[in-house]
Every structure is written in C-alpha cells, then in structure tokens.
Amino acid sequence: MSRFVERHPAWALISIIAIAIALWLVFAVWPPGLEEAIGRKRVFLNAVFNGITLGGLYFLVASGFTLIFGLMRNVNLAHGSLYLFGGYVGYAISTATGSWLLSFIVAFILTALVGVLLQLIVFRRMEGQDLRQTMVTIGLSIVFADLMLWACGGDFYQIQTPNWLIGPIELPLVTAIKSSGEPVYLRYPLVRLVIFAASVVIGVAMWLALNRTRAGMIIRAGVDDRDILAATGVRIQLVFVAVFAFGAGLAGIAGVVGGTFQSLSPGEDIRFLLASLVVVIVGGMGSIPGAALGALIIGLAEQLGSVYIPTYAIVVTFLIMVLVLAIRPQGLLARR
C-alpha cells in the first residue's frame, strides 16, 4: 500500500478523497440542498447496500471462475450453467425438505461432482489446448441450458427464505431527521446482509487457504508454473480435479444465493456468466482479491446506475470494463 502511494501520489490522493466522500455520503445526514439535487438518502443507501450485497453474489460466482482459470487456463464458459444448476438443485432440496442450509450443502456437492466429471471426462483430454477447451465449454453450456430447460421448464423459481431470516432489520445509519428531531434509521433485509457476510467469510477463508496452507501453496505454485510443479512430484491432476470441483461448487452455492435474492429462470446462466466475465476482466484474471474488487465495483455500478441513470445502467458496467482494458489490460489486481 505504501509503495502504491510512493509510486502514484496523485492517484493515491484521488482515491483517498473519493473514499472520504463516499464515507461522508453514507454516514452523514444529508443537507437539504443535496437531497434536492440527487434524491433522498434512503434511496442512495439502499442502492449502495444492494450493490454491495450483489457484489457478494458476483464474487461467489466469479471467484470459482477465476480460480479455475488461474490454475488450468481454462475459460469455463459453462460456469453460468453450473450456477443455474446449483440454483435448481437448491430449489428442489429446499421445497422437498424445507431446509435452506441443507440446500446449500447439496447444491455444493452436486455441482462439485459435475465439475469433477467435466474435468475427468472432458478437459483432461485436451489439456493445454486453451481455445479448444473454451469451445467445448460453449458446447457444454448450450447442452446444459437445453437439458435444464427440458427438466425445469421456462418458469421462474424463487427459493423460500427461511423464517428466521425474513424481514428487515434496522441499521445504525441515519437516513433522515424527522421534523420532531427524531432520527430515521435505515431498514434493510436481513437475509441479504447474512448472505453478504457469508460471502465475505468464504472469500477470507479462500484467501487464507491459498496463502497460509500447504494445499494453497501447491495451487499458487500451479498458477505460476504448472509444469515445474508437476516435475517436483505433485500429483497435478489431483490438484486440478480438486480445484475444478471447488470452483464448480462455489458456482452451485452462488446459484442457491441467487435463487434466494432474485429468481431462477433460463437465461440467468448467461447473465451470470457475463457478470463473472466482466468481474474477472475488471479485477484481473486468476486473482481472488481481484475478483472481490471487481465484484464490488460491478455490483455497485449496476445498482447505482439502475437508480440514477436507469436506461444506461448496463452501459456503465460496460464503460468500466472498457476503461480498465484501456488503462490496465491485465485487470486491476493482476500481477502479470
């Protein structure tokens, strides 16, 4: 961090000012002039919270994607299909048993199994042929999409939020002051906050596992140079299978989360594939912190954009991607 400040003092200053303004916008009571200019604070805070929690969901999808890419150089364009598959499995389990938590576990295991099968049957046969692997994943995503359409139909599904998470909670953030002088606090759905906290926990756990354990060391070594790693006697195929299974399982979990937040329907697979593509392009391919940063940026841009410039929300996301590509083609936090 201090090196960044030394090398780019102007950028550091700009980002510090931006962070300060953002914090002030979140915590301060807005003066009336500002409320007239850009609308009420409650709307703004809701958009910010929606953006951050959506970023958590995007992180869950994109981190698996970026992990698989980082290690195997495999752009898994069937990742969106894994997301949707996990969502459908979660829906089936939660309606059958009524248990929300169980649906996460089953969705993780089943999508991880699909991932293992994909790696063993398909990708292992064409190792090192990046483009061909990508083509195969495109074919697979078409086949999966149609199979799921066949099995589940074109309806919308929503996974039932468990009772203990229904309803809003009050956050210690003042949105306005009543005429009586009483402050009005922000109310926000508890389930979204819980899910966001869970995705932060998963992200931190992943970072710790990658940076502090032996298995993580092997994976990082594989990202840097898998040939040398294989030459040192590590059973690289086993590592590949494990990472693919874990990345796919994360997509499955994200599917359950997405099914609770939003809804599941054909087409969501492509939407989330696109989201994870943009997130990892912005954050940097193969980097977990990059996926977190990218997910946060894209989630916030999408939600704030849809509140303040509704017709061009998607363009904002796209412009961010263009900007990053123009300034730092390898992504914000990539090391390359």
Partner 1 sequence: MSLTHDARVAVRPADVAQRPARTWPEINNPAAWIVAIILLIMPLIASGFFLIEIFATTLILGIMALSLMFLAGYGGMVSLMQLTIAGFSAYMVAVFGVSGNANISLGWPWWLAVPMALALATAFGTLGGALAVRTEGIYTIMITLAIGAAFYYFTNQNWAIFNGHTGINTVATPHFWGVNWRADIPFYYVVLAVAALCYFAVEYISRAPFGLALQGVRDNPRRMAALGFNVNAHRVAAYAFASFVAALAGVLQVWNYRQISPGSVSVGACIDVLIIAVVGGITRPIGPFIGALIFVLLRTFALDFLVRLGLDGNRFRLLIGLGFLAIVFWSSDGVIGLWQRWRQSQRPRTDRQNGGRGHG
- Site of interaction with partner 1 (CB under 8 A): 73, 75, 77, 128-132, 134-136, 138-140, 142-143, 145-147, 150, 270, 274, 277-278, 281, 285, 310-315, 317-318, 321-322, 325-326, 329
- Distance between start and end Cα atoms, the chain: 18
What three-state secondary structure class fits 62? Answer: helix
CB of 303 to partner 1, least distance (A): 15
Which residue in the block uniquely carries the two structure tokens 């939020």?
A: 161
Which residue in the block uniquely carries the two structure tokens 């980097």?
A: 287
Q: Which is nearer to partner 1, 61 or 77 (CB)?
A: 77
CB of 334 to partner 1, least distance (A): 11
The single-letter DSSP state of residue 157 is B
CB of 301 to partner 1, least distance (A): 12
Name which of 270, 242, 239, 253 is nearest 110 in CA terms: 253
CB of 318 to partner 1, least distance (A): 4
Name which of 295, 300, 294 is nearest 331 in CA terms: 294
Spatial CB neighbours of 258, under 8 Å, sequence gap ≥ 6:
57, 61, 83, 87, 264, 268, 272
178 burial level (CB within 10 Å; 0-12, 13-18, 19+) = exposed
Q: Which is nearer to partner 1, 192 or 226 (CB)?
A: 226
Q: Which is nearer to partner 1, 163 or 311 (CB)?
A: 311
Q: Which is nearer to partner 1, 104 or 269 (CB)?
A: 269
CB of 69 to partner 1, least distance (A): 9
